[in-house]
């Protein structure tokens, strides 16, 4: 379950989470809402936040850059 990875405990040594901040984690629902507002404000159609990964990976692969 996605929320399991967003516990309030700090990551163990050598690990980090993509969306932590000093006051705690950013929860997926909050990230989704905020991203939706950004898209709306920019006059862009709604996409899933995860779709950004694909939107970035395709041009990188076309340029011969490994995105992993």
Q: How many CB atoms lie within 10 A of CB 11?
A: 12
pLDDT tens per residue, the chain (68 residues)? 344 444 555 555 455 556 677 888 888 888 889 999 999 999 999 999 888 887 888 888 889 988 66
Lookup: tokens for 40? 């709306």
Q: Kindly give, in sequence order, each residue whose CB lies less than 8 Å from that of residue 51, ignoring residues fewer than 6 positions away.
A: none
With contact defined as beta carbons under 8 Å apart, do 29 and 48 qualify? no
- Can you give the pTM of this predicted structure? 0.55
Reference 29, options 7, 52, 49, 56; nearest CA is 49
With contact defined as beta carbons under 8 Å apart, do 55 and 44 qualify? no
């Amino acid at each position: 379950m996605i929320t399991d990875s967003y516990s309030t405990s700090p990551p163990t040594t050598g690990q980090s989470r993509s969306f932590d901040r000093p006051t705690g984690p950013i929860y997926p629902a909050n990230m989704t809402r905020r991203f939706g507002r950004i898209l709306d404000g920019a006059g862009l159609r709604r996409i899933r936040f995860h779709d950004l990964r694909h939107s970035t990976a395709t041009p990188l692969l076309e340029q011969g850059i490994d995105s992993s």
